[in-house]
Amino acid sequence: MRANTIVTITRRLVRTGNGCWIWIGRTERGYGRVNYRGSRIRVHRLVYEHMVGPIPEGLTLDHLCRVRACANPEHLEPVDPVTNAGRGNSPPALNSRKTHCVRGHPLTGEHLTNHPDGRRRCKTCTNNGRRDRNREYMRRYRSEGHEVRR
């Protein structure tokens, strides 16, 4: 079996109507993978480095088209990993883009609580929930015959 060359690799890219160059060979988690010069490499990285140049240190390639199998260098942008993750469609990325809670309160300023682990909570909803739970607790407490001092 002959070793892969950039020519044999690019032959396995199918150009689509939206401009994507889709890899039709082996994939891993949606990304094209190929053995090239003794190592396994993602196809979009190989094509980008061949056609554009080296990927800057500390940066990853973001698929602007959101298609993992795409290797079109025009659809790829070198960005830092945090930016890349934030642009994605994972639950944390989607939540980070939310501007309002499910009840319509803005997730800014006085309505927002930031947890140490990075989660954001609507302060208004949190306080309303605490108040409602406390009322329910006190209702049950009184119904059991306990006296409440004020």
Residues 59-113 have pLDDT tens digits of: 999 999 999 999 999 999 999 998 998 888 888 888 888 889 989 999 888 888 8
Question: Which of 42, 60, 89 corresponds to the end of one domain?
Answer: 89
Give the pair of three-digit tokens for residue 66. Answer: 């959101």
User: Residue 115 contacts by C-beta under 8 Å, 6 or more apart in sequence?
Assistant: 121
What value does the mean pLDDT take over residues 100-127?
87
For residue 55, give the CATH number of its domain.
3.90.75
Q: Identify the DSSP state of 101.
A: -
Domain total for the chain? 2
pLDDT in the model for residue 88: 85
What value does the mean pLDDT take over residues 115-123?
85
N- to C-terminal Cα distance for the chain? 86
The answer on 102 and 73 residing in a single domain is no
**Backbone phi, psi, residue 40, to 5°:** -85, 135
Is residue 70 a contact partner of residue 21, using CB atoms and an 8 Å limit? yes
pLDDT in the model for residue 2: 66
Query: In the chain, what percentage of residues exceed pLDDT 90?
Result: 54
Is residue 83 a contact partner of residue 62, using CB atoms and an 8 Å limit? yes
The answer on 84 and 105 residing in a single domain is no
Residues 32-41 have pLDDT tens digits of: 999 998 899 9
The answer on 122 and 71 residing in a single domain is no
Dihedral of alpha carbons 55, 61, 65, 71, sign: positive
pLDDT tops 90 at residue 120: no
pLDDT in the model for residue 1: 55
Q: What is the CA radius of gyration of the chain?
A: 26
pLDDT in the model for residue 110: 84
Specify the residue for token string 């609507």: 122
Range of the domain at 136: 98-150
Greatest Cα pair distance in the chain = 86
